[in-house]
Amino acid sequence: MAANGGEGRKLKVLHVLHSIERSGAEVMLVQAAPLFEGWGLDLHALATGESVGMYAEQMAAAGFTIHHLPLESRFAHLLRFYRLLAREQFDVVHVHTEKAFFWYALAGRLAGVGRIVRTVHSVFDFSGFLWAERLVQRRIASRFLGELAVSPSASVQEAEHRLYGIHTFLIPNWTDSRRFSPSGNDEGRAATRAQFGIAEGSVVYISVGSCESVKNHAVIIRALASIAHACPDARYLHVGSGGLQAFEQQLVAELGLVGRVIFAGQRDDIPDLLRSSDAFVMPSTREGFGISCLEAMSCGLPVIASDVSGLRELVVDCETGFLTRSESDLACAMAELYRSSRLRERCGSAGRARALAEFNVQTSVESYVRLYRTS
For residues 319 and 343, the answer to whether their CB atoms sit within 8 Å is no
341 lies in some domain: yes
- 4 is a domain residue: no
Residues 156 and 278 in one domain: no
Same domain, residue pair 91 and 220: no
Whether residues 164 and 296 share a domain: the answer is no
CB 13 within 8 A of CB 91: yes
H or E segment to which residue 30 belongs:
helix 24-38
Together in a domain, 170 and 197: no
**Is pLDDT of 310 > 90?**
no
3-class DSSP state of 61: helix
Beta partners for 205?
Answer: 236, 279
Tell me how crowded residue 159 is: count the other CB atoms within 10 A of its CB. 22
In this structure, is residue 127 part of a structural domain?
yes
pLDDT confidence band for 73 (50 / 70 / 90): confident
Question: Each residue of 150-208: pLDDT tens digit?
Answer: 999 888 999 999 999 999 999 999 988 888 999 777 788 999 999 999 998 999 999 99
Distance CA 12, CA 250 (A): 49
Residue 2 in domain:
no
Query: Please, what is the average pLDDT of the chain?
Result: 93
User: What's the average model confidence in pLDDT over 288-314?
Assistant: 92
Residues 342 and 364 both lie in one domain: no
Position 1 pLDDT exceeds 80: no
In a domain, 55, yes or no: yes
- Under the banding of pLDDT at 50, 70 and 90, the label for residue 8 is low
Closest CA to 288 of 169, 151, 164, 163: 151
**Rounded distance between C-alpha atoms, residue 242 and residue 209, angstroms:** 9
Does 179 fall in a domain?
no
Q: Which residues contact 60 (CB under 8 A, 6 or more apart)?
A: 66
Cβ(214)–Cβ(285) under 8 Å? Answer: yes
Do 69 and 30 lie in one domain? The reply is: yes
Within 8 A by CB and 6+ apart from 133, the residues are none
Res 140 pLDDT > 80: yes
pLDDT of residue 6: 43
Q: What is the CATH number of the domain that holds 191?
A: 3.40.50.2000
For residue 123, the tally of other CB atoms under 10 A from its CB is 22
Do 220 and 146 fall into the same domain?
no
Q: What is the Cα 314 distance to its own chain's centre? A: 13
Asked whether residue 214 falls in the same domain as residue 332, the answer is: yes
Query: Is residue 7's pLDDT more than 70?
Result: no
Chain mean position to CA 176: 12
pLDDT in tens, 351-366: 999 999 889 899 999 9
> What's the rounded Cα separation, in Å, for the pair 264 and 243?
15
Number of domains in the chain: 2
Query: Could you tell me if 202 and 311 lie in one domain?
Result: yes
State pLDDT tens for residues 18-46. 999 888 899 899 999 999 999 999 999 99
Residues 147 and 227 in one domain: no
State the CB neighbour count (10 A cutoff) for residue 185.
11
Considering only CA atoms, which of 36, 104, 30 is closest in space to residue 371? 36
Say what percent of the chain tops pLDDT 70: 98
Q: What is the pLDDT of residue 200?
A: 87
Q: Please give the backbone phi and psi of residue 42, each rounded to the nearest 5 degrees, phi first.
A: -100, 110
CB neighbourhood size of 49 (10 A): 16
Q: Which residues, at least 6 apart from 99, have a Cβ–Cβ distance to it below 8 Å?
A: 18, 71
pLDDT of residue 72: 83
Lowest mean pLDDT, pick from 31-45, 66-80, 128-142, 184-198? 184-198
Q: Residue 5 falls within a domain, yes or no?
A: no
Residue 200 lies in a domain: yes
128/210 same-domain check: no
pLDDT (0 to 100) of residue 5 = 43
Domain extent, residue 194, equals 186-358
Q: Where are the beta strands (DSSP E) in the chain?
A: 11-17, 41-47, 65-68, 92-95, 115-119, 148-151, 169-170, 203-208, 234-239, 261-265, 279-282, 303-306, 321-324
Q: State whether 290 and 220 are in the same domain.
A: yes
Cα separation, 218 vs 285, in Å, equals: 12
As a whole number of angstroms, the distance between CA 347 and CA 277 comes to 14
**pLDDT reading at 302 higher than 50:** yes
Between the two ends of the chain, the Cα-to-Cα distance in Å is 15
CA distance 257 to 255: 6
